[in-house]
Chains A and B, each alone.
Chain A
Amino acid sequence: MSNSIADKKPGDVSILLCGQAGQGIQTVEHLLMRILKSSGYCLFTGKEYMSRVRGGMNSTSIRISGSPVSAPSNRIDILVPLDKGGVSHVSCMLTSNTVVIGEKDSCGGEIPNGVALLDVPFSKIAAETGNKVYSNTVAVGALLFLLGLELEPNLHHIGEFFSGKPDDVVKKNLEAAGKGYASLAGTGTARLQMEFKSSPDVKEQLLLSGAEAVSLGALAGGCNFISSYPMSPSTGVLSFLAQHGSEFGIVVEQAEDEIAAINMAIGAWYAGARAMVTTSGGGFALMTEGLSLAGMLESPLVIHLAQRPGPATGLPTRTEQGDLEFALYGGHGEFPRIIFAPGTLEEGFTLAHRAFSVADKYQVPVIILTDQFFMDSCCNTPVFKLDDVDREKHFTGTSAGYRRYEMAANGISPRGIPGLGDGLVCVDSDEHDQEGHITENSVMRTMMVDKRLKKLESSMDDFIPPRLFETGSSNNLIVCWGSALSAVREAVEILGRDDTAVLHFSQVFPLDAALVREHFSKAEKTILVEGNATGQFGRILKGCTGVDFHGRILRYNGLSFASDELAAKINSCLQEGK
Chain B
Amino acid sequence: MNRFDMELSDIAWCPGCGNYGILNVLKKTLDELGIQPEKMVLVSGIGQAAKIPHYFRTNFFNGLHGRALPPATAIKASNPSLTVIAESGDGDMYGEGGNHFIHTIRRNPGITNIVHNNMVYGLTKGQASPTSQAGFKTPIQVGGVFLEPFNPIAVALALDATFVARAFIGDQDRTREIFKKALMHKGYALVDVFQPCFTFNKINTFQWFREHTYYLDDTHDVHNRNQAFQKAVETDKLPLGVFYENTGRKTFEENIQETGKAVLPLHSQETDYGKLKDLILKFK
Contact = CB atoms under 8 A, between A and B. Distances in A.
Interface in B95-109: 99-100, 102-103
B39 interface: yes
A275 B103 CA distance: 20
What are the 10 closest A-B residue pairs judged by CB atoms, nearest first? Answer: A272-B267, A267-B71, A267-B74, A246-B261, A249-B263, A271-B78, A273-B266, A263-B70, A256-B103, A418-B59
Given A248-B271, A249-B263, A384 B280 contact: yes
Q: Which of A227, A267, A393, A422 has the most CB of B within 10 A?
A: A267
A272 B78 contact: yes
A249 B269 contact: yes
A437 B54 contact: yes
Interface stretch (A169-177, A206-214, A460-468): A206-214
A541 to B, nearest CB: 33
B70 A255 contact: yes
Interface string B163-203: 00000000000000000000000000000000000000000
A383 B78 contact: no
A422 B260 contact: no
Contacts of B32: none
B262 A245 contact: yes
A216 B279 contact: yes
Given A207-B283, A222-B270, A268-B77, 12 more contacts: A247-B279, A249-B261, A250-B260, A253-B77, A259-B100, A266-B71, A267-B71, A271-B74, A272-B267, A386-B273, A418-B79, A419-B79
Nearest to A289: B64
B82 interface: yes
B57 interface: yes
Nearest to B68: A263
A426 B51 CA distance: 13
B266 A224 contact: yes
Given A251-B78, A272-B79, A264 B267 contact: no
A206 B282 CA distance: 8
A272 B40 CA distance: 14
A386 B267 contact: no
A439 to B, nearest CB: 9
Interface in A24-67: none
B67 A259 contact: yes
A557 B275 CA distance: 41
Q: Which of B63, B71, B270 has the most CB of A within 10 A?
A: B71
A231 interface: no
Interface of A is mostly: mixed
A219 B37 CA distance: 33
Contacts of B268: 272
B60 interface: yes
Contact of B38 (A256, A271, A383, A424): A424
A383 B62 contact: no
A275 B78 CA distance: 10
21 contacts: A207-B283, A220-B271, A224-B266, A248-B275, A250-B260, A253-B256, A256-B100, A271-B82, A272-B78, A272-B79, A274-B266, A383-B280, A384-B280, A386-B277, A417-B267, A418-B41, A418-B79, A419-B82, A420-B267, A424-B59, A427-B61
A207 B54 CA distance: 53
A265 interface: yes
A289 B43 CA distance: 17
A419 B77 contact: no
Interface in B15-41: 37-41
Interface in B248-282: 256, 260-263, 265-273, 275-277, 279-281
B217 to A, nearest CB: 37
Nearest to A272: B267
A247 B100 contact: no
Interface in A394-434: 395, 417-430
Interface in A268-283: 268, 270-275
Contacts of A419: 38-39, 59, 79, 81-82, 265
A246 B271 CA distance: 12
A206 B283 contact: yes
B78 A216 contact: no
Contact of A426 (B53, B102, B103): B53
Given A248-B271, A293-B63, A268 B284 contact: no
Nearest to A221: B271
Interface residues of B, number: 57
Nearest to B261: A246
Contacts of A422: 38
A212 B79 contact: no
B275 A251 contact: no
Contact of B262 (A208, A249, A421, A429): A249
Interface of B: 37-41, 43, 46, 51, 53-54, 57-64, 67, 69-75, 77-79, 81-82, 99-100, 102-103, 256, 260-263, 265-273, 275-277, 279-281, 283-284
A569 interface: no
A443 B200 CA distance: 32
A225 interface: yes
B70 A260 contact: yes
A297 B75 CA distance: 15
Q: Which of A206, A219, A249 has the most CB of B within 10 A?
A: A249
A429 B74 contact: no
Contacts of B284: 204-207, 383
Interface string A292-308: 01000100000000000
A273 B78 contact: yes
A393 B277 CA distance: 20
A441 B4 CA distance: 25
Contacts of A195: none
B64 A267 contact: no
Contacts of B99: 256-257, 259-260
Contacts of B70: 227, 255, 259-261, 263-264, 267
A248 B74 contact: no
A416 to B, nearest CB: 9
Given A216-B280, A267-B71, A268-B77, A251 B62 contact: no
A249 B53 CA distance: 32
B64 A293 contact: yes
A568 interface: no
B278 to A, nearest CB: 10
Nearest to A416: B59
Contacts of A261: 70
B73 A219 contact: no
Contact of B64 (A207, A247, A263): A263
A436 B59 CA distance: 10
A425 to B, nearest CB: 5
Nearest to A250: B262
A14 to B, nearest CB: 23
Nearest to B62: A428
Contact of A290 (B64, B75, B276): B64
A175 B283 CA distance: 27
A290 B263 CA distance: 26
B59 A426 contact: yes
Given A256-B102, A383-B284, A270 B61 contact: yes
A266 B61 CA distance: 10
A271 B262 CA distance: 15
Given A247-B275, A256-B99, A429 B63 contact: yes
B280 to A, nearest CB: 5
